[in-house]
Amino acid sequence: MNHSGLFSFALTVALMASASTAKAYSFQVNQPCVKRFVKITSDNVNLRRLPNTNSGKLMTWNSDGGSFETYTKIFFSDTESSKYRANNMTGAYVDTYHPYNGNIYMVNSKQQEAQNGWYQIFVTAESYAESAEEPNSKMAWVKGDFCKVIDVNEDNNSVLGMMIPAAVYSDMETGNNVTAKGVRLSETLTRKQGEYANVRFCTYMLPDGENMQMTLFQKVKAFVYVSRCNIELNYGVRQNAACALKVVQEESDMEDADDMTVLRASLKAPKGRAAADALNNYLLSCTDAEFGKLMEMLCPDHKLPTYDVYFCGTDGKVYTFSYDSATVKDYGGVEYNVNVSK
């Protein structure tokens, strides 16, 4: 082998070694040990401390009538009512906890089967972004007459075949949330190189044409965790690159509110399909440092958000639920460190 061949061989080996030792991005998530859910099918359903109608109801205590510092606690009326009282001075008030019709709740993994026709479910108090305290959780019982049992399909092909909304956004005219068409997990875009290799995502152009929503999908066991962020688009920008991404801090219009972090993409192409393709090509091929700007928005501190989690039921339908990552640890949650390269 001549010197040129030796050099090429050495370079190939070095590149292979570099690729094999490249740092891979990882997520952390506390996942509940749950294989069964119930979906509430009636209005004004009472939840109980024990599996009978004579037991105390699940109640909600609200710290005040509504402010940035409002927080809630849930408790049982027959054992904890002395701790949580209404207060005319502070505006604190007490209500019966009624799950919304259609809500999905995790069934206690240690008590999956019905007991006297009741299921024990995991319930978390409502939380607010600016609340003074973290919400608490309880295990409560719901009568089987008022819910539908949903079992998790743990088959990997079923998970990869799930249809998950490509975007969820607010309609500017009606103010209602709109769910965009679904995308199969197996058909999402995937980074092929670097620290973020195998990160799954899709993009969706919002109707105004001025914003793109990027959605991250991360499979952990039988569940898919979804996180979304918005990218503002500027078209026809005079620049060398087809696309450039910036993180901008904008002052909030609301008093005492934090500044907003905005992602802004400058596109060389005019508005249209070419610009959308340019952004997708950029997201697939840009450096780790650039793609990391998005990941910081989608998964702060490498923690997977748990406010939009999907799974496939054994009935073939796709379901979504949310849970509080902090409280689920106390009820059999397992902490996973997910390496996206695997």
* The pLDDT value given to residue 13: 43
Q: What is the pLDDT of residue 14?
A: 43
- Percent of the chain's residues with pLDDT above 70: 89
DSSP symbol at 108: P
Helix or strand run (H / E) with residue 30:
strand 26-31
Alpha-carbon dihedral angle through residues 311, 314, 315, 320, given to the nearest 10 degrees = -10
Looking up tokens 């502070």, which residue turns up?
A: 90
List phi, psi (to 5°) of 288. Answer: -60, -35
Please give the pLDDT value at position 7: 43
pLDDT in tens, 225-264: 999 999 999 999 999 999 999 998 877 665 555 667 899 9
Residue 187 has pLDDT above 70, yes or no: yes
- Taking alpha carbons only, the member of 106, 114, 105 closest to residue 52 is 114
What is the pTM for the complete model shown?
0.87
What sign has the CA pseudo-torsion 105, 127, 110, 303? positive
Instruction: Report, as an integer, the average pLDDT of 17-40.
Output: 81
pLDDT at 139 over 60: yes
> Where on the phi/psi map is residue 233: left (φ > 0), alpha (ψ -120 to 50), or beta?
beta
Q: Where are the alpha helices (H) located in 23-132, listed in sequence order? A: none
Which range is most confident: 111-115, 139-143, 299-303?
Answer: 139-143
Question: If pLDDT is split at 50, 70 and 90, which confidence band does 2 have?
Answer: low
- 313 pLDDT more than 50: yes
pLDDT of amino acid 329: 78
Over the chain, what is the mean pLDDT?
Answer: 88
Residue 160 pLDDT more than 50? yes
Q: How far apart are CA 255 and CA 81, in angstroms?
A: 37
How far is it, in rounded angstroms, from Cα 250 to Cα 256? 14
The model's pLDDT over 69-123, given as tens digits with 9 standing for 90+, comes to 888 999 999 999 999 999 998 999 999 999 999 999 999 989 899 999 999 999 9
